[in-house]
Amino acid sequence: MDVTAERVDAEAYDVAVTLYHDDEGESGYADWWQVESLDGAQLGRRTLLHAHGTRRFTRSERVEVPAATDCVVVRGHDQTHGYGGRAMLVTLGSGATKPVDQGSERQSMAAMDCP
C-alpha cells in the first residue's frame, strides 16, 4: 500500500511498509516484507509474527543499502498467496514510489524504470 524510506546514515534507511491483507484468521496471514535491489538481491526483511486482520498496518525495519543504490523493490508476502498483489519500486532520494502488479511468484524488476 505504501512505503517510506528515511536515510539514517550513508548506507542505512529506516523503511516503513504499510500492508493490507484481505484474509481473516490466523492461517494465511502476511508473514513478511523485504527490500531488494533491482537485480533481486535481498537487502533486508521484516518478519511479521501474527495476523493483523483485514486492515492496513505499518511496520518498520532498518535496512542496510549500498551507497550506490538509488532504487529498491519492496515486496510483501503471505502464507497463502505467496508474493501476490503488488511490489513497490522506491526511489530512495526522492521517496517516490511506483506500484507494480505481480503474481504469486517473485517477478524480476531488473528492467523496470524507477519512479
- Note whether 19 and 34 are within 8 A (CB): no
What's the pLDDT at 31?
Answer: 84
| Residue 73: closest CA among 30, 44, 48 | 44
pLDDT at site 30: 78
- CATH code given to domain 2-101: 2.60.40.150
Q: What is the DSSP letter of 55?
A: S
The pLDDT value recorded for residue 81 is 79
Beta pairing, strands 71-78 & 30-37: antiparallel
Tell me, what's the pLDDT at 29?
Answer: 73
Distance of CA 53 to the CA centre of its chain: 19
Number of Cβ within a 10 Å radius of residue 90: 24
Would you give the distance in Å from CA 35 to the centre of its chain? 5
Low-confidence ranges of the chain (pLDDT < 70): 21-28, 50-54
Instruction: Specify the pLDDT at position 52.
Output: 62
